[in-house]
């Protein structure tokens, strides 16, 4: 574990000056360089996730992998509003500002207030919906209280990491994300050694990650990114960040909640061992989706936010990233399909080789999902709330209809088939709607 002195050395170096104009990197070069810069953090998160999946598949008993995914989905229900709402807005409004300025203090303070309100709402929902949300874990009230505490400290960590990203402190993000993965995995390893049950292991995983808040506060303070707050909360700033919160509500209702309900449905109508097969494919998808999401959140979206007032540069950037990632993602996902017979037993257990037939449509749907996300990030950067909510609602509605049609006919295979069809439709709609951005001939 890095000591405070080591962390100070990592984060105390001054930012490098910009290169001369004739040596400015190309759009693609800047994106690749930024992606490589966050590579250590992404590798750490991926390695931690793969190790956690392996531990629960081997030692969690039948359904251990499904319970892990259900717990992580439960975490997402309570962290989506801060992460995809408050924090997305904070990046947009803090990125152009100097730390310590009056406007910086305003946006920083409003972000804190909204996070506190969201956490209070989440605690109330958790208390009232304990049976419906947590019944599969058979929790005590102490378990529920510790879960709420874990969500609170994890939200604090992600908020401060967002502030660091808005200030361009990518190295800080790398080290802190590595610590986050390490603490969570270490907690699970200790729990396995002590013979804890799966629900207790999962709680330890959350609380272990939450411990990262301590070094995160220290780093943000040393970087001068924790301003002294004074004066009333800005109502205009509350309204502006509230628009991002509304977009996050649509993600919560039409994505995270739908996933949670679908898994509950599969657990009810299939055995835990059968559900584990689908869950293995979904967890593999979650792992590389986490990699993609981390790159987009730390490199692509902040750049979109910075270019919001420069339409020509924004179009050039989006077209370049689309052209770069479309074949790269296709090749990467295709390689996973070719290696499916070897990869699934390696990452989980030999019994999970039976999940191979489910992987093809899942990979196809994920390619369409990633490409559509690149376009939908534009709605977030432009704060086009109504359109974003509409897309999420239509996507969820299409998914529900597809599941209702395909699950009875194809069994577990119907789940990845519905996933592929859903995001194929979303991508098609995005390409039509954003054709003025990605189609180059018109603006060449």
* Residue 265 pLDDT: 78
Portion of the chain with pLDDT greater than 90, in percent: 29
Q: Do residues 154 and 206 make contact, with C-beta atoms less than 8 angstroms apart?
A: yes
197: left (phi over 0), alpha (psi -120 to 50) or beta: beta
Residue 359 has pLDDT above 90, yes or no: yes
More confident residue, 234 or 360: 360
Q: Which of 55, 40, 398, 306 is nearest to 205 (CA)?
A: 55
Judge contact between 245 and 22, C-beta under 8 A. no
Give the integer Cα–Cα distance in Å for 106 and 83: 19
Is 70 exceeded by the pLDDT of residue 268? yes
Over residues 64-76, the mean pLDDT reads: 85
**Is the pLDDT at 138 greater than 80, yes or no?**
no
Residues 263-281 have a mean pLDDT of 80
Q: Helix, strand, or coil here: 150?
A: helix
pLDDT at 57: 82
Q: Which residues contact 70 (CB under 8 A, 6 or more apart)?
A: 136, 260, 263, 264, 267
Looking at residue 5, its pLDDT comes to 32
Rounded-to-integer distance, Cα 157 and Cα 215, Å: 9
pLDDT at 443 over 50: no
In this prediction, residue 351 carries a pLDDT of: 82
DSSP code string of 105-149: HHHHHHHHHHHHHHHHHHHHHHHHTHHHHHGGG---HHHHHHHHH
Average pLDDT over residues 221-246: 85
Give the range among 57-61, 138-142, 280-284, 326-330 with minimum mean pLDDT: 57-61
Give the confidence band of 88 by pLDDT, cuts at 50, 70, 90.
confident
Least confident of 1-15, 143-157, 276-290, 307-321: 1-15
Separation of alpha carbons 381 and 433, rounded Å: 16
pLDDT of res. 382: 78
Question: Given this model, what pLDDT does residue 30 score?
Answer: 59
174: pLDDT confidence band, cut at 50, 70 and 90?
A: confident
Specify the range with the lowest mean pLDDT, choosing from 57-61, 82-86, 109-113: 57-61
Mean pLDDT of 37-41: 60
SS3 444: coil
Please state, in angstroms and rounded to a whole number, the distance separating the CA atoms of residues 270 and 267. 6
Residue 432 and residue 417: Cα distance in Å, rounded? 23
As a whole number, mean pLDDT of residues 412-436 equals 92
- Which pLDDT score is estimated for 302? 76
Average pLDDT over residues 311-321: 85
Does residue 83 surpass a pLDDT of 50?
yes
Q: What is the pLDDT of residue 167?
A: 83
Residue 18 has pLDDT above 70, yes or no: no
Residue 75 has pLDDT above 60, yes or no: yes
Cα–Cα distance for residue pair 270/265, rounded to 1 Å: 8
- What pLDDT was estimated at residue 28? 58
Pick the residue with more confidence: 334 or 263?
334
Token pair of 276 as six digits: 């584990």
**pLDDT exceeds cutoff 80 at 410:** yes
List the Cα angle 397/402/404 in 5-degree steps: 95
Check whether 16 has a pLDDT greater than 60. Answer: no
Q: What is the pLDDT of residue 311?
A: 81
Q: In the chain, what percentage of residues exceed pLDDT 70?
A: 89
- DSSP 3-state percent helix, strand, coil across the chain (nearest 5): 85, 0, 15
Give the residue-averaged pLDDT of 327-334. Answer: 95
Of 257 and 179, the structure prediction assigns the larger pLDDT to 179
Average pLDDT, the chain: 82
Cα-Cα-Cα-Cα dihedral of 84, 86, 87, 92, to 10°? 110
Q: Please determine, for residue 195, whether its predicted confidence score (pLDDT) is greater than 80.
A: yes
CB 348 within 8 A of CB 53: yes
Give the closest residue to 333 by CA, choosing from 304, 371, 386.
371
Would you place residue 440 in the very low, low, confident or very high pLDDT band (cuts 50, 70, 90)? low
DSSP string, 6-74: HHHHHH-SPPPPPPPGGGPPPHHHHHHHHHHHTHHHHHHHHHHHHHHHHHHHHHS-TTHHHHHHHHHHH
What is the reported pLDDT for 41? 66
22 pLDDT higher than 80: no
b (16+ CB within 10 A) / e for 58-96: eebeebbbbbbbbbbbbbbbbbbbbbbbbbbbbbbbbbe
Residue ranges covered by each domain of the chain: 29-443
Provide the whole-model pTM: 0.68
């Amino acid at each position: 574990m890095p000591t405070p002195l080591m962390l100070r050395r990592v984060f105390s170096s001054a930012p490098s000056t910009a290169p001369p104009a004739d040596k400015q990197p190309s759009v693609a070069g800047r994106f690749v360089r930024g992606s490589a810069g966050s590579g250590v953090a992404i590798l750490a998160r991926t390695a931690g996730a793969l190790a956690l999946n392996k531990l629960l598949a081997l030692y969690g008993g039948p359904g251990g992998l499904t319970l892990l995914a259900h717990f992580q989905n439960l975490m997402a229900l309570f962290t989506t509003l801060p992460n995809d709402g408050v924090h997305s807005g904070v990046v947009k409004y803090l990125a152009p500002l100097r730390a310590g300025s009056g406007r910086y203090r305003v946006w920083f303070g409003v972000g804190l207030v909204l996070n506190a309100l969201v956490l209070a709402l989440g605690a109330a929902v958790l208390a009232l919906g304990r049976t419906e949300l947590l019944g599969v874990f058979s929790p005590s009230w102490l378990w529920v209280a510790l879960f709420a505490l874990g969500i609170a400290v994890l939200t604090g960590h992600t908020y401060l990491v967002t502030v660091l990203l808005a200030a361009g402190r990518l190295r800080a993000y790398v080290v802190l994300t590595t610590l986050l993965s390490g603490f969570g995995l270490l907690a699970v390893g200790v729990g396995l050694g002590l013979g804890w049950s799966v629900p207790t292991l999962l709680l330890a995983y959350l609380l272990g990650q939450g411990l990262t808040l301590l070094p995160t506060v220290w780093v943000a303070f040393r970087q001068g990114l924790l301003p002294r707050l004074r004066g009333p909360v800005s109502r205009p700033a509350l309204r502006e960040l509230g628009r991002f919160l509304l977009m996050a509500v649509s993600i919560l209702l039409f994505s995270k909640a739908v996933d949670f309900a679908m898994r509950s449905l599969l657990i009810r109508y299939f055995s835990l061992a059968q559900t584990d097969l689908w869950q293995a494919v979904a967890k593999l998808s979650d792992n590389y989706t986490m990699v993609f999401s981390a790159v987009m959140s730390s490199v692509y979206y902040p750049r979109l936010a910075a270019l919001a007032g420069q339409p020509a540069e924004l179009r050039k950037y989006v077209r370049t990233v689309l052209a770069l990632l479309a074949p790269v993602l296709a090749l990467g996902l295709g390689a996973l399909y070719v290696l499916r017979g070897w990869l699934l037993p390696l990452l989980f257990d030999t019994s999970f080789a039976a999940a191979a037939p489910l992987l093809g449509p899942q990979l196809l749907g994920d390619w369409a999902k990633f490409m559509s996300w690149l376009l939908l990030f534009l709605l977030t950067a432009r704060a086009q709330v109504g359109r974003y909510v509409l897309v999420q609602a239509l996507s969820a509605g299409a998914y529900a209809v597809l599941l209702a049609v395909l699950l009875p006919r194809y069994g577990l295979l119907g789940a990845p088939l519905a996933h592929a069809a859903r995001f194929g439709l979303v991508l098609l709609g995005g390409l039509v709607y954003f054709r003025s951005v990605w189609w180059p001939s018109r603006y060449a």
